[in-house]
Amino acid sequence: MGVIRILLAISVVIAHSTPLFGLSFVGGRYAVQCFYMVSGFYMALVLNEKYLGPGSYRVFISARLLRLFPVYLAVVLATLAGEGLLPNVFRHPLNVPVHAPEGVKQTMGNDNTVQLWEKYAHLMTPWQKAYFAATNLTTLGQESTILFAVDTKNGEWVKDWRGPEDVEAYRFLLVPQAWSIGVELMFYFVAPFLVRRKIPIVLGVMMASMAVRLVLFKYGYKDDPWNYRFFPSELFFFMVGTLAYRTYKYLEPRNAVPGWLSMAWWIATVVVIVFWMQIPLPGGVKALGLLGLVATAIPIVFMRTKRNKLDRYIGELSYPVYISHFLVVSCLTGLGWREGYVAVPVTIVVSIALYHLIDRPVDSFRHKWATRASARAKAAAAASGS
């Protein structure tokens, strides 16, 4: 799964830079939704096989926070330092609103996040500042910043952008792509209550999530964030990953998938991810095909790669690539080297450093701590029952 995960992360890098030698891969939206399925699979795996018994919820949540936040906070600090000390180098790569009305342009150009705070923070109320501070610190609620803008004349939050004086609220996020980490956290909070259930309940949750998506679509809420960032409708993809885990548990002891088929599925998934934009099919058909291919590839490919150390190492880089790439692209934008063939390798180098300096040491501590915490909880439960 490692190669597939890193290709999905690179898809997001390309979405915020430029195509890599003419290839855009699957784009940011579908890459994130594929990641949701992968996350659903891995969370079902660890919650059914590792985090069990009394106290397991607390241990699981603590372990997930230790997995995500050390690298995230390191990138936050690096962003503050880079954008604050070198504002002419660290420039925001997206200078036109993504969701503003047609014809509306922003006047701040490539001002980075720290510059925007310096210009407009004095207009904000304490509650507005607290909201932005909390969501930058925790990632929770970041997906909501796509819904409104900040009026730079008076600091008010506006839902309908009225002109060049309105700045999209997400521009005040230090790591703007981390909104998906907030969605992941929402899933972590409920996953222990969902992924251990019987298949009919899993299917029921999936159908309920899809029903939310269809109702939103019916009433006109068919665009970002409702079809992309809204957790109740995105829960569907996490639960698809849970079903992929159940498929894996059925197939693995039976050795039901021959090696050549696993390799063919892996190759097909890689080819579709890399050349997705070049596939001559309607967008909706391609999207369903991609999501279906990745969903079925997860259990099949995992069976054949779970003991491959190189593949696992490559996969471990996917999170540092995803969480650090916007900082890298911002720096390259200021230097005039924003092209994908520069952004992708530089992001990978930065991610390797983050993995070895922060992620790997913390992960080693996390595994040891989780093992001891689980043992203590089981011992306490046994003592209280004796």
**What are 155-202's pLDDT values in tens digits?**
888 876 556 668 888 889 999 999 999 999 999 999 999 999 999 999
pLDDT of res. 163:
61
Place of tokens 């080297």: 337
| Distance of alpha carbon 42 from alpha carbon 51, whole angstroms | 12
SS3 151: strand
Residue 18 lies in a domain: yes
Residue 214 lies in a domain: yes
Q: What's the token pair of residue 110?
A: 């490539």
What is the crossing angle of helices 179-194 and 199-218, to 10°?
Answer: 140
Amino acid at 85: L
| Distance of alpha carbon 284 from alpha carbon 300, whole angstroms | 25
Neighbouring-strand partners of residue 150: 157, 167
Side-chain half-sphere of 136: how many Cα atoms within 13 Å? 22
204 and 235 Cβ atoms separated by less than 8 Å: no
Closest to 243 (Cα-Cα) out of 212, 204, 214, 213: 204
317 and 355 Cβ atoms separated by less than 8 Å: yes
| Distance of alpha carbon 381 from alpha carbon 243, whole angstroms | 31
Q: In what order do the strands lie in the sheet with 157-158?
A: 157-158, 149-151, 166-168
User: How far does the chain reach from its first CA to its final CA, in angstroms?
Assistant: 44
DSSP class of residue 167 equals E
DSSP, residue by residue, 5-37:
HHHHHHHHHHHTS--BTTB-TTHHHHHHHHHHH
Instruction: Report CA Rg, the chain.
Output: 22
Give me the domain span that covers residue 313.
Answer: 2-83+177-385
Backbone angles phi and psi of 151, in degrees to 5: -75, 115
pLDDT of res. 32:
95
Residue 89 lies in a domain: no
Under 8 Å CB-to-CB from 259, ≥6 apart: which residues? 304
Q: What's the token pair of residue 271?
A: 């080819």
Place of tokens 């409708």: 233
Residue 74 lies in a domain: yes
Closest to 186 (Cα-Cα) out of 144, 221, 139: 139
What is the crossing angle of helices 340-354 and 2-15, to 10°?
Answer: 130
Q: How far is CA 125 from the centre of its chain?
A: 30
Residue 107 lies in a domain: no
Closest to 235 (Cα-Cα) out of 215, 273, 272, 208: 208
Reading the chain (386 residues) residue by residue, the pLDDT tens digits are 899 999 999 999 999 999 999 999 999 999 999 999 999 999 999 999 988 888 889 999 999 999 999 999 999 999 999 999 988 888 877 654 444 444 444 444 678 899 889 988 888 889 999 999 999 999 999 998 888 888 888 888 887 655 666 888 888 999 999 999 999 999 999 999 999 999 999 999 999 999 999 999 999 888 888 888 999 999 999 999 999 999 999 998 888 788 889 999 999 999 999 999 999 989 889 999 999 999 999 999 999 999 999 999 999 999 999 999 999 999 998 888 889 999 999 999 999 999 999 999 998 887 787 777 767 766 665 666 55
Under 8 Å CB-to-CB from 103, ≥6 apart: which residues? none
Residue 232 lies in a domain: yes
Query: Can you list the alpha helix ranges (DSSP code H) found in 306-359?
Result: 309-316, 318-335, 340-354
Residue 144 lies in a domain: no
- Measured over the CA atoms of residue 211, residue 160, residue 79 and residue 350, the dihedral's sign is positive
Number of domains in the chain: 1
**Cis previous bond, 225, omega within 30:** yes
175 and 79 Cβ atoms separated by less than 8 Å: yes
Residue 141 lies in a domain: no
CB atoms < 10 A from the CB of 70, how many?
18
Q: How far is CA 161 from the centre of its chain?
A: 27
Amino acid at 204: G
Q: What's the token pair of residue 237?
A: 């993809």
